[in-house]
Structure 1
Amino acid sequence: MKINGNEIKPGNVIEHNGGLWVAVKTNAVKPGKGGAFNQVELKNLIDGTKLNERFRASETVEKVRLEQKEYQYLYAQEDALVFMDMETYEQLELQADFVGDRKAFLQDGMTVTVELHEERPIGVSLPDQVTLEIAEADPVVKGQTATSSYKPAVLENGVRVMVPPFITAGEKIIVATDDISYVRRAD
C-alpha cells in the first residue's frame, strides 16, 4: 500500500532502500522557505541499524503490513529457540539473539506473537508482564522506611531487578518485560 511521505507515523513499517524499516519517531517540519517535509527516524527490522530520513509530501513510500501469528514457546536448543504454531502445530526455530535480552523471560508454554513478512519472521513480542519468583533479595535495613528507594533482587531466571524493601526471597512478583521493572506482588 503506497502512502505519502508526510503520512508516516511512529510504528509504521515501510519498505525503503531495499529493506524493512519501522518508524520510531516522526517530526513534521514546515520551514519558512521551501516545501514541508517529514523528518523520520527509522530502525531496520532485520539488523537494528538506525537511519534519519526526510520524506517530502510529494514522495510515496510502500507501507508494509506484517502478519501477526501466535506461537507457543517450547524450549531452547543451543543458540536457538523453538516455537510451535498454535494452529498448524508446525515448529519454528529462531536464533536466540532474535529475541535479545528478553529471552530470559521466556517460559515453557508461553504464548508469544511472531510478526511475519511474506512468511519470514521479523520480530517476536513477549507478553507485557510475566510472573517470576525472587531467588535472592537483600534483607531490609532496620530503620529504612517503606517510602525509601528500592533494593536489588535476583529473579529465578538470573535477571536483576529493583524491588520494594518488603519483598523477600521466595515471593512471586510480576515484572514488566519491556523495561525489566517490578510491577507488583503476584497473587
Structure 2
Amino acid sequence: MNQADGLPYSQACENNKQAILSVLRHGFAQATQVLEIGSGTGQHALYFAEQLPHLTWQPSDQGAYLAPLCLRVSLATHLDNLALPLTIDVMQPWPCESQQFDALFSANTLHIMSKAMVEAMFEGISQHLALGGVCCLYGPFNYQQAYSSASNREFDTWLKTRDPLSGIRDIEWIIQLAARAGMRLMADNEMPANNRLLQFLKEA
C-alpha cells in the first residue's frame, strides 16, 4: 500500500503491523470473527485480513472517518474475509446489536479518547465479546502513573495540548475496566516505539 491512491495513510500502521501480527497469530489462532474498533485508515484491517485468512475481519470507525475506510475496503476485492465497515461511536449503542465476536482488536485508540469514552468502549466490549473471546489492545500505557519513556512523556504532552481530555492511560486502570467487563489480562507484550499489546481473555 502507498499514498498513490490518494487515501489516508498512516506510516505508524506500516511500522507496527508486523510486530502486532506476531502476537495476533497466536492470540487469535482459535478465533473466527474479529471486530476492530477505530480502524482509521484501514491499513491494519487489510493487512491482518490478508495474513489471517481464517478470520472474518470486521472494521469499524466513527461516521466522520468512514468514507475513506469504506473505499479502501471496497478496493480490496481479493479479500472475501474483510467485511464492510460498521459505524461505531463508543458513546452510542453499537450497530452490531446482539452480535458477539470471539475476538476484538483496537490500536492507538485509548489515548485519543476521553476517559468517559474509554469506559464506554469497555462496556461495549463486555456486550459484544463472547465468553472465551480474546481482546487485544495496542498503544502506549503508563505504569504506576509513570511514563515508560521520555518519548511517551512528550507524546502525552502533545496529546493534552491537542485535547485536554485525551492522554496516555494507566495500565492499572485499564486492567480494572477490563475486569468489570469480565476480562483478565493474559499477556502484556512489548512492542516497538515504547508501545504495548495487551491481551485479555473474556471469562464467565
TM-score by length of 2: 0.22
Between Structure 1 and Structure 2, which shows a larger proportion of helix residues? 2
Which structure is richer in relative contact order (CA contacts within 8 A, separation 6 or more)?
2
| TM-score w.r.t. length of structure 1 | 0.23
Judging by fraction of residues, say which structure has more strand. 1
